[in-house]
């Protein structure tokens, strides 16, 4: 085997950040539910600046009951986006696996 050979798993690990980015961009452009959820997250962050302070800042913060409810909604929506992204990655991986198995004539 050549010194230049890089096994399939390593190549996929190296390519993962780009694959992940492509999937997120595709979801934003082609999945209305994802785009609407993403927009809701942006709106909540704009309406309640304390959320950005809690997520990105340092030091002590205080939240009103309304801000806390918005913070919880924000986290719920983030989990929803994350689930959608993970499901897309899961199916993408299966498509790649089938294509690879066909290429090596295993199926």
Instruction: Look at residue 7 and tell me if it is in a domain.
Output: no
Confidence of residue 3 (pLDDT cuts 50, 70, 90): low
Q: Using CB atoms within 10 A of its CB, is residue 60 exposed (0-12), middle (13-18) or buried (19+)?
A: exposed
56-85 residue pLDDT tens:
878 899 999 999 999 999 999 999 999 999
Mean pLDDT of the chain: 90
Number of domains, the chain: 1
Phi, psi of 71 (to 5 degrees): -60, -45
Instruction: Look at residue 49 and tell me if it is in a domain.
Output: yes
Q: Using CB atoms within 10 A of its CB, is residue 48 exposed (0-12), middle (13-18) or buried (19+)?
A: buried
Whether this prediction's pTM lies above 0.75 is answered by: yes
Instruction: Look at residue 1 and tell me if it is in a domain.
Output: no
Instruction: Look at residue 52 and tell me if it is in a domain.
Output: yes
């Amino acid at each position: 085997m050549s010194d230049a050979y890089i096994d399939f798993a390593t190549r996929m690990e190296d390519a993962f950040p780009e694959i992940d980015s492509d999937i997120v961009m595709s979801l934003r452009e082609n999945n209305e539910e994802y785009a609407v959820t993403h927009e809701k997250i942006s709106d909540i962050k704009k309406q309640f600046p304390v959320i950005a302070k809690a997520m990105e800042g340092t030091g002590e913060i205080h939240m009103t009951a309304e801000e806390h409810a918005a913070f919880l909604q924000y986290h719920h929506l983030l989990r929803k986006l994350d689930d959608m992204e993970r499901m897309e990655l899961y199916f993408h991986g299966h498509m790649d696996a089938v294509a690879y198995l066909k290429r090596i004539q295993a199926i």
